[in-house]
Structure formats: C-alpha cells, structure tokens
C-alpha cells in the first residue's frame, strides 16, 4: 500500500461495566454492557470498511466487549490483546497506532476513557456532519464508537491528521 492509501481507525470504548469487589482491571460487563457490546458490533459491521486488525485492552470489560461485538462482524479481524491499552494516555495510544503494519488498511481499538475520547478528538482535524458536535455533547459514553479516516501510513498518525466520519452511541 502506498503512503496515500486511505485508512480508517475505529475507536470503540468498552461497554458498561459492573462494579463488583475486584480490581479495576478485572471488572466485568454489566448486563446493559453485554447488550451495548452486541449493538456496537452491529454498528461496526454496517461501516463501509471492515477492520483487519483489532487491538484490545487486556482489561476484562474490554475483552468481553470485543468478545460480544466481534461475532456481529462478517469477518473477524485478527485480534491482539494489548496490555499497553489499559490506562493508556493519548500519546501512548498514538504510539501504538504508529506501530501498526502498513499492510493493515483498517484498524480497530477497544479501550477506555479518557483515552478513547481524547484520541478521537485529537486525530479529527475535520468532521462530517454533526459528528464532532455530538461527540462533544455526549462525552464518549460506554460502547461509543468513532471512525477517523485519513490518507497515509500509520506512522504518520498525529493530531489533526484525519476526518471524524462517524460517531455512534448505543443510546443516541
């Protein structure tokens, strides 16, 4: 693929988690979260591009979100469970994206706030329709997803490089 290859980044926040007496990393999804995750999977399946690679946080709620969302896709992308996504800062998330192999055209991240919201906001230099306004208004709730598109390679991903082409929440 050339440096001008159009690419898409699907940014998915984990679905609603429960609050049992376990470590934050080990929190499972709540019943509402299980429903949200499947809905998010259906929304991802309806996108024009199909992710070829999914990077998912190792936290239980993120893994469960992906486990319930992935079967809704026509073809499950290769999945990498990435420790660095748990509690990742914006800079750490961009560094992970920069490591993506050039042969991957469409990438999916399953992670946590505030990182997922910050990433979508930082990368979107422009937006289509009212996507950016809706994202600011709703503050990226659980199971929200954003799609940022850009031309270039993954190493060139930085602030303002893309266009926010989609923003969706399960309760919009």
CATH for 85: 3.40.50.1240
Is residue 59 domain-resident?
yes
Q: Is residue 22 part of a domain?
A: yes
Measured over the CA atoms of residue 149, residue 150, residue 151 and residue 156, the dihedral's sign is negative
Query: Which among 81, 85, 87, 52 has a CA at the least distance from the CA of 66?
Result: 81
Provide the 3-class DSSP secondary structure of residue 18.
coil
Question: Residue 3's pLDDT is what?
Answer: 58
Dump pLDDT digits (tens) for 7-33.
999 999 999 999 999 999 999 999 999
**Structural domain includes residue 140:** yes
Closest to 79 (Cα-Cα) out of 69, 92, 88: 69
Give a yes or no: residue 16 inside a domain. Answer: yes
pLDDT at 2: 52
Radius of gyration (C-alpha) of the chain in whole angstroms: 15
Phi (first) and psi of residue 68, to 5 degrees: -90, -25
Which of 168, 107, 93, 104 is CA-nearest to residue 138?
A: 168
pLDDT digits (tens, 9 = 90+) for 52-72: 999 999 999 999 999 999 999
| Residue 126 placed within a domain | yes
Measured CA to CA, the distance from residue 117 to residue 45 in angstroms comes to: 21
pTM: 0.95
Cα 107–chain centre separation: 8
pLDDT value at 1 more than 60: no
Does pLDDT of 172 surpass 70?
no
Q: Specify the number of domains making up the chain.
A: 1
Do residues 59 and 84 touch, judged by C-beta distance below 8 A?
Answer: no
pLDDT tens string 70-123: 999 989 999 999 999 999 999 999 999 999 999 999 999 999 999 999 999 999
Q: Is residue 121 part of a domain?
A: yes
**What's the pLDDT at 24?**
96
**CA nearest to 49, candidates 108, 104, 97, 8:** 8
Task: Quick: pLDDT tens for 131-141.
Answer: 999 999 998 99
CA dihedral 66, 72, 77, 78 (to 10 degrees): 40
Structural domain contains residue 1: no
Domain span holding position 65: 6-168
Distances in Å between the Cα of 113 and the Cα atoms of 43, 116, 140, 171 are 20, 5, 8, 17
Place 158 in a pLDDT band, splitting at 50, 70 and 90. very high
Structure tokens at 67: 């486990």
């Amino acid at each position: 693929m050339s440096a001008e290859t159009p690419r898409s980044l699907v940014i998915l926040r984990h679905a609603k988690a429960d609050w049992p007496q376990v470590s934050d990393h080990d929190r499972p999804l709540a019943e509402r979260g299980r429903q949200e995750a499947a809905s998010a999977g259906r929304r991802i399946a309806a996108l024009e591009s199909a992710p070829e690679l999914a990077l998912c946080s190792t936290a239980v709620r993120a893994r469960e979100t992906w486990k319930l969302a992935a079967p809704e896709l026509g073809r499950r992308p290769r999945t990498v469970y990435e420790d660095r996504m748990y509690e990742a800062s914006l800079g750490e998330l961009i560094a992970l994206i920069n490591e993506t192999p050039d042969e991957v055209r469409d990438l999916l991240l399953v992670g946590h706030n505030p990182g997922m919201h910050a990433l979508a906001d930082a990368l979107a230099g422009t937006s289509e329709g009212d996507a950016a306004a809706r994202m600011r208004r709703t503050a990226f709730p659980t199971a929200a997803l954003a799609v940022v598109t850009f031309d270039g390679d993954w190493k060139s991903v930085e602030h303002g490089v893309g266009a926010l082409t989609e923003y969706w929440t399960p309760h919009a």
